[in-house]
A = this chain, B = another copy of it.
Amino acid sequence: MIKTRITELFNIERPILQGGLMWISLAELTSAVVNAGGMGFITALTFPDPESLRTEIRRCREMTSRDFGINLTFLPTLRPPDYSSFIQVCIDEGIKFIETAGYNPEAYIDHIKSGGITVIHKCTSVRHALKAQEIGCDAVTIDGFEAAGHPGEDDVTSLVLVPLASDALRVPVVASGGFADGRGLVAALGLGADGINMGTRFAATKEAPVHENIKKTLVEHSELDTSLIMRTLGNTERVLRNPSVEKVLEIEGRGNATIEDIIPYVSGLVGKAMLEEGDVRRGILSAGQSMGLIHDIPSCRELMDRIMAQAEEVIREKFLQVLTSERGPETG
């Protein structure tokens, strides 16, 4: 049992979050995480329209009696999704938690808050975390350099970002990027975080609705098998290295690459077809350095039980000496 400001904020037993994973955090995964005592977020933009999200929320309600959250990612695009309607669906359906990500959600905060919803904003730097706090977010998730997907452009690692963020912020901080086991949870709490967020690790669970080949790929590859692409476009993604990624890196290496040059090789950046068909050689699969720490495909409950048990074991093994020596020589 580890209580933190994050377990209180989300009314959960374990300080473990499954943030939004495009195409992956559907009702199956998110309900499994919340049923195991954590907090999960269904990605709204996985759905073509707000009514489809409503259907998914109702489907998830059938899988759990607990609260779960919705991820809303704000993208720079000429034709933005109908965020207001997605938010209204969340409010109508009694959603209590939203994870925002991507661009500054300021324009939508009042709408979200009007539904009494708690907001955690995911970002990649202390300055963006401070901005999120300023506009009223209740917590932040901070992604280190090691994270899958968008780790930002600063390349600062979780080990450095987390203590800096926890020094700078009043609101709780969730550490993200490089976390996959109980040792990481202990490290995150030691660094000042109130919990951990995991992406790649949750993609390699029984309940993740992706092709078995994808899960096996995450198990079989190591911390050395990710690459950063689209750095030259200022929109870096950490992904599994495969032939498509090698091609993108080659194009970027030539200089002056545009998104049009790259699109043919990433064949749908979000990798929906790959996730469904299981061909990991083509397209793009987000994967963090935590891949090196993934050795099996457990259920979410098995995974989270193990993380908590390992964290408690590490704390006893490493830190009991400090607490007992503090009490004086008679107990030493």
A309 to chain B, nearest CB (A): 11
Report yes or no: B293 in contact with A312, Cβ–Cβ below 8 A. no
A160 CB within 8 Å of chain B: yes
Query: Looking at the complex, which of A28-36, A42-50, A89-97, A318-326 is the stretch in contact with chain B?
Result: A318-326
A170 CB within 8 Å of chain B: no
Chain B residues near A159: list those with CB within 8 A. Answer: 144, 146, 157-159, 177-179, 184, 187
Known contacts A187-B191, A293-B164: does B2 contact A321 (CB below 8 Å)?
Answer: yes
A189-216 Cβ-contact flags toward B at 8 Å (1 or 0): 1111000000000000000000000000
Interface residues of A in 172-191 (CB under 8 A from B): 177-179, 181, 183-184, 186-191
A325 contact from B1, B186, B192, B321, Cβ within 8 A: B1
Number of interface residues of A (CB under 8 A): 47
Report yes or no: A181 in contact with B157, Cβ–Cβ below 8 A. no
In the complex formed, the residue of B with least CB distance to A161 is B223
Report yes or no: A1 in contact with B163, Cβ–Cβ below 8 A. no
Please measure, in the bound complex, the distance between the C-alpha atom of A11 and the C-alpha atom of B232, giving whole angstroms: 49
Chain B residues near A293: list those with CB within 8 A. Answer: 160, 163-164
Please measure, in the bound complex, the distance between the C-alpha atom of A183 and the C-alpha atom of B319, giving whole angstroms: 13
Interface residues of A in 275-321 (CB under 8 A from B): 289-290, 292-293, 311-312, 314-316, 318-321
Chain B residues near A314: list those with CB within 8 A. Answer: 190
A224 CB within 8 Å of chain B: yes
Pick the most buried of A160, A311, A325: most chain B CB atoms within 10 A of its CB: A160
Report yes or no: A224 in contact with B154, Cβ–Cβ below 8 A. yes
Chain A residues with a Cβ under 8 A of chain B: 1-3, 144-146, 154, 156-161, 163-164, 177-179, 181, 183-184, 186-192, 223-224, 289-290, 292-293, 311-312, 314-316, 318-323, 325-326
Give 9 closest A-B pairs by Cβ, nearest first: A186-B190, A187-B187, A159-B178, A157-B157, A187-B190, A160-B289, A315-B319, A146-B157, A189-B318
